[in-house]
Amino acid sequence: MTQSQPSPNDRHEPDSPKLEAQGITKLFPGVVANKEIDLALHKGEILALLGENGAGKSTLMNIIYGLYQPTEGQILVDGNVVEFHSPRDAIDLGIGMVHQHFQLVPVMSVVDNIMLGSESVDRGLLNRERVAAQIQELADRYNMPVDPNAIIEDLPVGVQQRVEILKALYRNADILILDEPTSVLTPQEIEGLFAVMELLRSQGKSIIFITHKLKEVLRIADRIAVLRRGEMVGEADPKTASQENLATLMVGRKVTLEVEKEPASAGDVLLELRAIEAFTDRGEQALRGVSLDVCAGEIVGVAGVQGNGQTELVEVITGLRPATAGSVLINGRNMTNAPPRRITEEGAICHVPEDRHMYGMVGAYSVADNLVLNSYYKPPFSSGLTMNQAEIAQHAEELVARFDVRTPSVNTSGASLSGGNQQKMVVAREFGRPISLLVAAQPTRGIDVGSIEFIHSQIVAKRDEGVAVLLVSNELDEIMALSDRIAVMFHGQISAVLPRSDATREKIGLLMAGVRADD
Amino acid sequence: MATAFPIASLQRVLRALFIPALALLAALLAGAIVMILSGDDPLAAYSGLFQGAFGDGKGWARTIRKTVPFILTGLSVALAFKVSLFNIGASGQFVIGSVFAVAVGVNFEGLPAFIHLPLALIAGIVGGMLWGAIPGFLKVYTGAHEVIVTIMLNYVASLFAGWTVYAGGTQGQTPGPLWDRTAGAISETQDVLASAQIPWLFGPPYRVHYGIFIALAAAILIWWLIFKTPLGFEMRTVGHNMRAASYAGIRVNFTIILTMALAGGLAGLAGGIETLGLNHKFAPEFGGAVGFDGITVALLGQTHPFGVLLAAFMFGALDGGAATMQFESGVPADIIQIIQALVLAFVAAPLIIRMIFRLRQQTQEEAASAVSTSWGGS
């Protein structure tokens, strides 16, 4: 692995790079988001931009995409200095960006979304057929099958992302910025995306791939640039780099990717699920008789391909979705279809929800208010009629310190924290009170290595205190690293429960794909 | 941090006032253009308007008298907004509140005032609450959108109120239960008993009653409820993120129904106060137009209870000065309604305001975050 303090004269290419950022500095009030960053992207290259949340990756990309103006420094496209006043200027020069949160209109068709903003018009009327044909041509060329007339909200996330990429290609993008494109995808969809990226590269497109997943970087990138705290701390060659040294570079200290834990000493059964059935929002049967026990002091991991009922299972346990059959017993008490607050209080249960934006936090609320989101009504935060702001603030100061939530103050809005810190905020709230059962769904989705390490160690610490832990994750690595027992979910059922010692990736993978253990 | 707090909060208040103040200014400018186009003198008109609203004791009295219902209907709409509910029904709730209050006010002869008046006011609140709770129930249990239901219920309320005071027809149709038998062919109630009338703060010719204090107290109470109580926390949480609210164990359905009922209660109280304090009877022409203005007042007040107070005062002054303006300058008082409508248009479209006054665009960062969250789903 080569580390270098980059400077513009460091490397001389025979021809000028496709895209170059020189000495980019971006100041926000009180924050240096980017500091003298140099970056070059060549034709037909996949450059991975690696960094923790809050390292300045998104700021840098927004500058390249014309959303922000740099405080200092300049952007060059094909060797010419350019100045972007809006994304439109960047698009005109062939830069396309696929945001982490898709910029699609859910109720409109693929064609309408793709031509939105650069409509094809004949005598004042939209020419959808022509656009549809162009989309079809692009889709064929880059092997991204999509029905141009499908409505966006009916499409799976992976296909929606394809539409975003096609949208950029339709605008003749030669440079594609993909902002955390894999964080919303299933493992299969990720493979599909990588195939598309390789095809795009072979046809001369240049790609900036933003991520913090080390494995993916090593798998797909031609070159790796690492950002830390707004500065470019080095470049790495994926052929020689390892996950460990990339993580160290990214976080700035040695990171343990392996979770260290003692063997579990399981106690009494704390959570008993008996033949639970439930339906999805769309009325399809999601759970078909799920039975599972979780004991005090053990971590039971639920593995499975997303959409096999894991989400619904967690919602049934926590009272957010009615069970149509079966029973949930927590600490021996029947909690089937009890209101969420009763489950939280009597079950002494805490829930790290799989979608922190949708369930786990209120973006407009301060960190302090988010930290009392489910205890605001209890003393000392509330004394009957009024809430006690001083107690709420003090409680927040304590949790922020204890769980290392990086925030300017406890009065900062939750929405303005980085993803990893938002998740730490949720974890701080849920772990910061006495509990006997922890239900953690995708506890490290979309967050950086340093935060993952921290959250994993907290989960293990809870287990060692005697808490029963139900861990649901789409990341097989996470399940393997943390679990004492592994339950595999397939098609709304638990298809097998294995002790960790019997579980291999291959065995679990087959079970996840629906192959029965005894076949 | 404790020392920096007042400055920061002052800045926040000023920033919040910025766009509404400019919207008001823009509406007055646009009104002036309309006047010039129709050959009138805007300076004379606005000077008449100011004279009418603040020129003398009577002017102040008119302004305060008009401000009272704006405060309460504005609070009604603003409270619902905090829970992401759009209460277009303040008009109907106002009317139902008036009818309930008058029904108690004309009956129970012999009750002492300290019982009769509160009873009549509470009746107005209860009427409005019932009327507001209906769209809440329908939203929770059938998914019917509160905008549609509240608009429809405005018609129902106004027709129901008309029936209660119906004078009967020439073909011997049954008169309404609240109709004043001595009123002949006129559809109206008798005067509410003296024991249920809100006493004058300044009697005729000023005609300012104590209702202004009830309205001010309501604004403080609603501010306290929203920002200081656990219930307000629940309401705001539901308003921001319904899913997070249910995750946090908040009874979302209950909160929605309660909020609509409270919003209705405020508008109903407005109706009760107008009836018991000023009109002293109910007739169909005392309809709930002020309920619709509540939407504008709430938006102009940035849906903050104290902002609503300011906005209601502005609207009260516009209404209070309108007649004098017409008298002094010959500009028809209806222009005031145009101005009030323009205020709504400008408050609802801050971008137009920024364009008119050539304000610096939202910083690009703000714009970018607006773009990147617009379809983000959270």
Tell me if chain B has a CB within 8 Å of the CB of A333: no
pLDDT band at A57 (very low <50, low <70, confident <90, very high): confident
Q: Which residue in B224, B368, B372 is closest to A101 by CB distance?
A: B372
Residue A9 pLDDT > 80: no
Confidence of residue B360 (pLDDT cuts 50, 70, 90): low
Per the CB < 8 Å rule, is B233 touching A386?
no
Q: Is the pLDDT score of A7 beyond 60?
A: no
Report which listed range, A126-130, A304-308, A323-327, is most confident.
A323-327
pLDDT for the residue numbered A1: 40
CB pairs under 8 A between A and B: 85
Is the domain A1-94+174-253 a CATH 3.40.50.300 member?
yes
Do the chains contact at A369 and B374, CB–CB below 8 Å? no
Confidence of residue B5 (pLDDT cuts 50, 70, 90): low
Interface contact flag, B244 A28, Cβ < 8 Å: no
Tell me whether B361 touches chain A (CB under 8 Å): no
Residues from chain A contacting residue B1 (CB–CB below 8 Å)? 409
Indicate if the pLDDT at residue B361 is higher than 60: no
CB distance A358–B237 less than 8 Å? no
Q: Which amino acid is at B189?
A: T
Is there a contact between A99 and B372 if contact means CB atoms under 8 Å apart? yes
A362: nearest CA partner in chain B: B241
CA distances from B245 to A66, A412, B148, B248 (A): 37, 20, 25, 5
Cβ contact, residue pair B247, A409, below 8 Å: no
CA A234 to chain CA centroid, nearest Å? 24
What b/e readout covers B100-127, taking b as 16+ CB neighbours within 10 angstroms?
bbbbbbbeeeebeeeebbebbbbbbbbb
A382 touches chain B (CB under 8 A): yes
Separation of alpha carbons A503 and A480, rounded Å = 8
**Which of A157, A377, A382 has the most B C-beta neighbours within 10 Å, making it the best mutation to test the interface with B?**
A377
Total residue length of chain A: 519
Residues of chain A found within 8 Å of residue B249, distances taken between Cβ atoms: 339-341, 344, 374
For the beta carbon of residue A510, count every other beta carbon within 10 angstroms: 17
Asked if B365 has any chain A CB less than 8 Å from its own CB, the reply is yes
pLDDT tens digit string along A111-144? 999 988 877 777 878 888 889 999 999 999 988 8
What is the CATH superfamily name and number for domain A269-348+434-512?
P-loop containing nucleotide triphosphate hydrolases (3.40.50.300)
Q: Which residues of chain A neighbour B250 with C-beta distances below 8 Å?
A: 341
Strands of the A349-352 sheet, one edge to the other: A349-352, A437-441, A468-472, A299-303, A485-490, A493-499
Tokens for B276, please give them. Answer: 């018991």
B194 touches chain A (CB under 8 A): no
Report whether pLDDT(A364) > 60.
Answer: yes
CATH 1.10.3470 for domain B22-32+41-200+207-358, yes or no, is: yes
pLDDT at B356: 72
Q: pLDDT tens, B132-158?
A: 999 999 999 999 999 999 999 999 999
Q: Which chain A positions have a beta carbon within 8 Å of B365's beta carbon?
A: 28, 68
**pLDDT at residue B2, rounded to an integer:** 42
A233 backbone dihedrals φ, ψ, rounded to 5°: -100, -5
B323-341 pLDDT tens trace: 999 999 989 999 999 999 9
pLDDT at res. B137: 97
Q: Which ranges of chain B would DSSP assign to H, the alpha helix?
A: 5-37, 42-54, 57-82, 90-105, 113-142, 146-164, 211-228, 230-240, 242-247, 252-273, 289-300, 305-329, 335-348, 350-356, 364-374
Q: What is the pLDDT of residues A448-507, one digit of tens each?
A: 777 888 899 999 999 999 999 999 998 888 899 999 999 999 889 999 999 999 988 888
Quick one: average pLDDT of A28-53?
A: 88
Identify the pLDDT of residue A489: 93
Q: Is A320 within 8 Å of B247 when comparing Cβ atoms?
A: yes
The length of chain B is 378
Residue B166 phi, psi (nearest 5): -55, 130
Per-residue pLDDT of A161-213, as tens digits, reads 999 999 999 999 999 999 888 876 766 778 889 999 999 999 999 999 998 77
Contact A360 B249 (CB under 8 A): no
Q: Is the pLDDT of residue A215 over 90?
A: no
Nearest to B277 by CA among B339, B200, B185, B219: B200
Distance, in Å, from the CA atom of A92 to the CA atom of A48, rounded to the nearest integer, reads 24
Chain B: closest CA distance from residue A375 (Å)? 8
- Domain boundaries for CATH 3.40.50.300 within chain A: 1-94+174-253, 269-348+434-512
Q: Of all helices (H) and strands (E), which one includes residue A214?
A: helix A214-220
Of B271-275, B276-280, B361-365, minimum mean pLDDT range: B361-365
Which has the closest alpha carbon to B137: B284, B256, B16? B256
Interface test with A, best of B83, B231, B241, B374 (most A CBs within 10 A): B241
CA separation for the pair A372, A399 (Å, rounded): 11
Whether chain B has a CB inside 8 Å of the CB on A361: the answer is yes
The token pair at A151 is 């409505």
Instruction: Please give the pLDDT value at position B168.
Output: 80
Query: Which residue is associated with the tokens 């141009």?
Result: A148
Q: Where are the domains of chain B?
A: 22-32+41-200+207-358
Once rounded to an integer, what is the mean pLDDT over residues A317-325? 95
Q: What does the mean pLDDT of chain A come to?
A: 88
Cβ of A69 within 8 Å of Cβ of B233? The answer is no
Residue A2 has pLDDT above 60, yes or no: no
**Does A364 lie at the interface with B, CB-CB under 8 angstroms?**
yes
Nearest residue in A to B226, CA atom: A386
Distance CA(A377)–CA(A385), nearest Å, equals 9
Query: What's the Cα-to-Cα distance from B27 to each of A60, B304, B318, rounded to whole Å?
Result: 42, 21, 12
| Residue pLDDT, tens place only, A66-84 | 989 999 999 999 989 999 9
* pLDDT tens digits for range B106-140: 999 999 999 999 999 999 999 999 999 999 999 99
Q: Burial, B184: exposed, middle or buried (Cβ in 10 Å; 0-12, 13-18, 19+)?
A: exposed
What's the confidence (pLDDT) of residue B238?
Answer: 96
Q: Do residue A67 and residue B364 have CB atoms under 8 angstroms apart?
A: yes
Position A246 confidence tier, pLDDT thresholds 50, 70, 90: confident
- Tell me the pTM: 0.80
CB atoms B249 and A340 under 8 Å:
yes
pLDDT value at residue A509: 79
Structure tokens at A183: 């964080």
Chain B: nearest CA to A423, how far in angstroms?
14
Tokens at residue B19, please? 């766009």
Distance CA A107, CA A460 (A): 43
Cβ(A446)–Cβ(A251) under 8 Å? Answer: no
Q: Do A104 and B375 touch (CB under 8 A)?
A: yes
CA distance A102 to chain B (A): 7
Q: How far is A381 from chain B (nearest CA, A)?
A: 9
Q: Report helix, strand or coil for A226.
A: strand
ipTM: 0.85
Q: What is the pLDDT at residue B10?
A: 81
Q: How far apart are CA A122 and CA A125, in angstroms?
A: 5
